[in-house]
Amino acid sequence: MRIEDKSLLKTEAYIDGKWVSKESTFAVSNPFDGTLIAQISDCNQEDTEKAIEAAHKAFKVWNGFTANKRSKILQAWNTLILENANDLAHILTVEQGKPLAEALGEIKYGASYIEWFAEEAKRVYGDVIPGQSTKNRITVIKQPVGIVGAITPWNFPSAMITRKIAPALAAGCTVVVKPSEYTPLSALALAVLADRAGFPPGVINIVPTMDAASVGQTLTSHPKVKKISFTGSTRVGKLILKQSADQVKKVTLELGGNAPFIVFADADIDAAVEGCFASKFRNGGQTCVCTNRIFLHESIHDAFLEKFALKVESIKTGNGLDTDVHIGPMINEGAIEKDLQLINDATQKGAKIITGGDRKEGLFIEPTVICDLDSNMDIYSSEIFGPIAAIYKFNSEAEVIQKANDTNYGLASYFYGRDYALIWRVAEALEYGMVGINTGVMSTVTAPFGGVKESGFGREGSKYGIDEYLNIKYMCWGGVE
Ligand code: SIN
């Protein structure tokens, strides 16, 4: 791998401040050409328990630091990540596939969560509340929940870790991270830099594994783990929620989406085309907030489609390390098969392909635009997670709101329009945790990221993000006379 600092490439687990090598390993390969990148130590239940014990021991130390001291260490980590951003982006592209520029964007986006929560660490305020008795006084303090198990996905192998553990660490929690088996190298590189930044041993632990079920079960069932934060599919999220229920653990779930992208008759069509393109094809469509169903008002349907299809035809797929590539490979064969099935089902039921529609050599699908879709097709209710733009036509506001909300998911939604009253009505009516109004890109550290319905609960980022890792304690002071 062509990186400057080779010491960022680690293949061992990181437990209690030590690099732990295992006899049993699993392979990580480049999704672009299938070449082997590394053999990674494969952690099991016992390793996970050791990591939890280390986090437990470290909790007293870390929570005993002042917020200012924790903040300084987080800031040092942020600085090191930014200094090594090119290397980290390179590692990310090689194991995940996304183009280098996008990978670099992710590294900076991920670091922004550390910078933000390093500041928020110093602002975990309590309250003094006016009581209803002259004899009593009421105060509230906030305390870290304890040990956090973070289970993170392959589509954002760096930023989804920092978005979870930066607020946890800022709050005073210690963490055990299980990264995706497809992308452990980014997680381990973050740990190298965390080590250099000066986190005490056991504050951050990383347990890569092929056996996600066993490590996940250990994290959700261990009595010392007080909180689980998960980003991934709704199917696995439900399992984690059920497993965590036995001990009534706190849980944050960022799950799947089925984002509508609505273009109303009075919208700025060029801006809508740009916004839709950015939202649909980010990370090759493998993003939970990617546009999934594009609803076009019948009066602008053809004009939008013509401009949009032209843009899609110009997309270059290939090796993410090549600077002119817009979309890298999909993550695995299963992802390709699922998307081809969605295309087949739709065309068999009468849909029309405007561009793309076929598989290409390697883990690639042609960027696709497909129209004449309706709600009987599987693509309407499935999270596509690939470079397929699915187009629907509508003719009234009521109809499109009903269709946009006609899903169990509720993560991101988008619409373009200019009428002031319509904008308010639609934004309020959409049953989603996030609404992009005349924009297709809305993720930022300063805003609360999260969903409703089966897209999960809890919020990441923003002033709300740290609350997920804090317990509120009410103190009633009696006998004050
Ligand atoms: C995700 O796909 O879960 C994260 C995307 C983002 O932060 O915008």
Question: 307-341 pLDDT, tens per residue?
Answer: 999 999 999 999 999 999 999 999 999 999 999 99
pLDDT band at 467 (very low <50, low <70, confident <90, very high): very high
CA distance 80 to 380: 43
Question: 423-460 pLDDT, tens per residue?
Answer: 999 999 999 999 999 999 999 999 999 999 999 999 99
- Say if ligand 1 is within 6 A of residue 286 CB: no
Three-class SS state of 97: coil
Instruction: Please say if the pLDDT value at position 153 is more than 90.
Output: yes
Question: Residue with structure tokens 């250099």?
Answer: 196
The single-letter DSSP state of residue 409 is -
The CATH number of the domain covering residues in 259-406+412-444: 3.40.309.10
AA identity, residue 310: L
Q: How many other C-beta atoms are found inside a 10 Å radius of the C-beta of residue 428? A: 8
Quote the tokens at residue 140.
């509230």
- Say if ligand 1 is within 6 A of residue 255 CB: no
Q: Is 371 designated active site? A: no
Instruction: Please say if the pLDDT value at position 257 is more than 90.
Output: yes
Residue range 127-142: average pLDDT? 96
Write out the residue limits of the CATH 3.40.309.10 domain(s) in the chain: 259-406+412-444
Is the Cα dihedral 236, 240, 242, 243 positive or negative?
Answer: positive
Residue range 237-255: average pLDDT? 98
Residue range 31-54: average pLDDT? 98
How would you classify the pairing of strands 388-394 and 368-371? Answer: parallel
CA distance 202 to 175: 8
For residue 450, give Cα distances in angstroms to 444, 455, 481.
12, 8, 46
Give the chain's mean pLDDT. Answer: 98
CA distance 24 to 10: 15
- Say if ligand 1 is within 6 A of residue 254 CB: yes
Sheet with 137-144, strands from edge to edge, namely 127-129, 137-144, 470-477
Question: 386-430 pLDDT, tens per residue?
Answer: 999 999 999 999 999 999 999 999 999 999 999 999 999 999 999
- Report the nearest atom of ligand 1 relative to the CA of 290: 2
User: How many A from CA of 289 to the centre of ligand 1?
Assistant: 6
Per the CB < 8 A criterion, the answer to whether 250 and 454 are in contact is: no
The CATH number of the domain covering residues in 6-256+455-474: 3.40.605.10
Name which residue sits closest to atom 6 of ligand 1, judged by CA: 443
Q: Which residues of 178-197 are buried (b: 16+ CB within 10 A; e: fewer)?
A: bbbbbbbbbbbbbbbbbbeb
CA distance 43 to 212: 9
Residue percentage of the chain with pLDDT more than 70: 100
pLDDT score recorded for residue 481: 83
Question: Residue with structure tokens 């990978």?
Answer: 103
Residue range 270-293: average pLDDT? 98
Q: Is 288 designated active site? A: yes
- Report the nearest atom of ligand 1 relative to the CA of 443: 8
Residue in 55, 72, 196 with CA at minimum distance from that of residue 122? 72
Is the Cα dihedral 165, 232, 435, 292 positive or negative?
Answer: positive
Per the DSSP assignment, residues forming a β-bridge with 225 are 147
Element (H, E) at 435: strand 434-437
Catalytic annotation, pick one of 288, 366, 371, 454 = 288
Could you tell me the pTM of the whole model? 0.97
CA distance 324 to 343: 27
pLDDT band at 1 (very low <50, low <70, confident <90, very high): confident
- Say if ligand 1 is within 6 A of residue 156 CB: yes
pLDDT score recorded for residue 54: 98
Q: Which residues of 98-116 are buried (b: 16+ CB within 10 A; e: fewer)?
A: bbbebbbbbbbbbbbbbbb
- Say if ligand 1 is within 6 A of residue 231 CB: yes
Write out the residue limits of the CATH 3.40.605.10 domain(s) in the chain: 6-256+455-474
Question: 22-42 pLDDT, tens per residue?
Answer: 999 999 999 999 999 999 999
pLDDT score recorded for residue 344: 98
